[in-house]
Amino acid sequence: QKEVEQDPGPLSVPEGAIVSLNCTYSNSAFQYFMWYRQYSRKGPELLMYTYSSGNKEDGRFTAQVDKSSKYISLFIRDSQPSDSATYLCAMSARDYGGATNKLIFGTGTLLAVQP
Amino acid sequence: ETGVTQTPRHLVMGMTNKKSLKCEQHLGHNAMYWYKQSAKKPLELMFVYNFKEQTENNSVPSRFSPECPNSSHLFLHLHTLQPEDSALYLCASSQLITGPRTYEQYFGPGTRLTVT
């Protein structure tokens, strides 16, 4: 079983739709949860970060973590064509002083927002 | 230059060639990483350097040889590669500090490698 599972898509939605992206994981040691966004021909960039369980909101983006179910989500409201990219979830366990720098990534979900 | 830069952006090499990938970070970070990104697969961590010392070698074949001469530069030396090594090779950097932000890695644009 992979440590992190993510549906690769592609996911195609109309402009203005609410998008839900998800990952599941098996390692209960993970406590830091991240979403990276990767545009075509670019490296990934950090979009959202959540520590432990709970929700975090940043503009049109909301990250949710449910540690009891080992399930994380990223919601995009009022999706725009500029949101078209690959979204990668990433996770890290805790080490002395905070997160380790060893990130475990999902495969990424390719999102296309149609105008 | 800002952020993390990688050269070359594209590389085609034969199985008997020797080439090197270069990464430079302009962020003052003290940790650097090499990742391999293949289609439909998760990013694979290859090597980690903390304060110029290699701390992680994720069972990478010896035909990949990393070098970190200082905290700003990272190289990946390639020799006798196989066609299955064709992928996007990403370099990243981060700041190792006590606290929760060690997760924040900054990536370069990658080198698209094709092995023929």
pLDDT tens for B19-36 read: 999 999 999 998 999 999
- A36-45 pLDDT per residue, tens: 999 998 999 9
The model's confidence at residue A100, banded by pLDDT at 50, 70 and 90, is low
pLDDT higher than threshold 70 for residue A99: no
Report, as an integer, the average pLDDT of A59-64: 96
Chain A residues with CB inside 8 Å of B40's CB? 8, 107
Q: How many CB atoms are located within 10 Å of the residue B14 CB? A: 10
- B41-64 pLDDT per residue, tens: 899 999 999 887 887 777 899 999
Nearest to B47 by CA among B28, B74, B20, B71: B74
Query: Can you give the pLDDT at residue B1?
Result: 58
- A13 neighbors A68 (Cβ within 8 angstroms): no
Instruction: Say if B66 is an interface residue toward chain A (CB within 8 Å).
Output: no
Contact A102 B94 (CB under 8 A): no
Chain B residues with CB inside 8 Å of A8's CB? 40
Dihedral in degrees, nearest 10, Cα atoms B39, B43, B106, A72: 110
